[in-house]
Chains A and B, each alone.
Chain A
Amino acid sequence: MENLSHLFAAYAAIWIILFGYIWRLRSRQKTLQQEIALLQQRLAEDREKRTAQGV
Chain B
Amino acid sequence: MSARPFFAALVFAAMLVALYMVFIYVPTEQQMGVVQRIFYFHVPSAITAFLAFFLVFVASIQYLRTQQERWDRLALCAAELGVVFSLIVLITGPIWAKPIWGAWWRWEPRLTSMLVMFTLYVAYLMVRAYGAHPLQTRRFAAVLGILGFANVPLVHYSVHLWSPELQLHPRQVSLEPAMVYTKYVSYLAILLLFSYLLQWRLQLEEGTQRLAWLRQQAEDLFPAERG
Contacts and interface: CB of A to CB of B under 8 A. Distances in A.
B215 A39 contact: yes
Given A14-B92, A32-B211, A21 B42 contact: no
Interface string A7-23: 10111011001100110
Contacts of B103: none
B84 A3 contact: no
Interface string B119-148: 000000000000000000000000000000
Interface majority SS on B: helix, strand, loop or mixed?
helix
Contacts of A1: 33-34
A7 B221 contact: no
Interface residues of B, number: 34
Q: Using C-beta atoms within 8 Å of the partner chain, give the interface range for chain A.
A: 20 to 34
Interface majority SS on A: helix, strand, loop or mixed?
helix
Given A3-B99, A6-B35, A35-B211, 10 more contacts: A6-B98, A6-B99, A14-B41, A14-B88, A29-B1, A36-B211, A39-B214, A40-B214, A43-B214, A46-B221
18 contacts: A1-B33, A2-B33, A4-B34, A6-B98, A6-B99, A10-B92, A13-B88, A13-B91, A13-B92, A18-B88, A18-B193, A21-B84, A25-B201, A28-B204, A29-B204, A32-B1, A32-B208, A46-B221
